[in-house]
A = this chain, B = another copy of it.
Amino acid sequence: MVQRRPAADEDAGSRPLWFIPPAGAAQRRRVLTREDVVAEALAIIGADGVDALSMRVLATRLGVVPGALYRHVRNKEQLHDLVLDGVLAEVDHEVDDGLAWTERVKVLAHRLRTVLEAHPGIAGLLKTRDPLGPHSLALAEAFLAALNASGRPGRRTGLAFCLVFDYTLGFALSGPTSVNEQRVQDPATRNKLHAFLRSLPADRFPTLVALGQHVWLNNRDERFAAGLDVLVGGLDASRRPSRRARGHQPQR
Which of these, B138, B144, B205, contacts A215 with CB under 8 Å? B144
Smallest CB–CB gap between A107 and chain B, Å? Answer: 13
Closest to A221 in B: B252
6 extra interface residue pairs, beta carbon distance < 8 Å, beyond A128-B178, A137-B205, A148-B210: A127-B174, A129-B179, A144-B212, A155-B214, A163-B223, A233-B238
Interface centre among A129, A163, A212, A232 (most CB of B within 10 A): A163
Spot the interface stretch: A7-15, A34-42, A63-71, A164-172.
Answer: A164-172
* Cβ–Cβ contact A245 & B231, under 8 A: no
* CB-defined contacts of A167 to chain B, threshold 8 Å: 166-167, 170
Mark out the residues of chain A between 216 and 252 whose CB falls within 8 Å of any chain B CB in the assembled complex: 217, 219, 221-223, 225-227, 229-235, 237-238, 244-245, 247-248, 250, 252
Q: State whether A170 and B163 are in contact (beta carbons under 8 Å apart), knowing that A137-B200, A157-B211, A245-B229 are contacts in the complex.
A: no
Smallest CB–CB gap between A99 and chain B, Å? Answer: 14
* Cβ–Cβ contact A227 & B180, under 8 A: no
* Cβ–Cβ contact A130 & B230, under 8 A: no
* Cβ–Cβ contact A229 & B207, under 8 A: no
Closest to A223 in B: B162
**CB-CB contacts of A186-200 with B at 8 A, as 1s and 0s?**
000000000010001
Complex CA–CA separation, A206 to B128 (angstroms) = 26
* CB-defined contacts of A45 to chain B, threshold 8 Å: none
* CB-defined contacts of A137 to chain B, threshold 8 Å: 200, 205, 208
* CB-defined contacts of A138 to chain B, threshold 8 Å: 204-205
Q: Is A48 an interface residue (CB 8 A)?
A: no
Q: Is A173 an interface residue (CB 8 A)?
A: yes
Complex CA–CA separation, A137 to B238 (angstroms) = 33
Which of these, B163, B171, B206, B232, contacts A227 with CB under 8 Å? B163
Complex CA–CA separation, A234 to B235 (angstroms) = 8
* CB-defined contacts of A200 to chain B, threshold 8 Å: 137
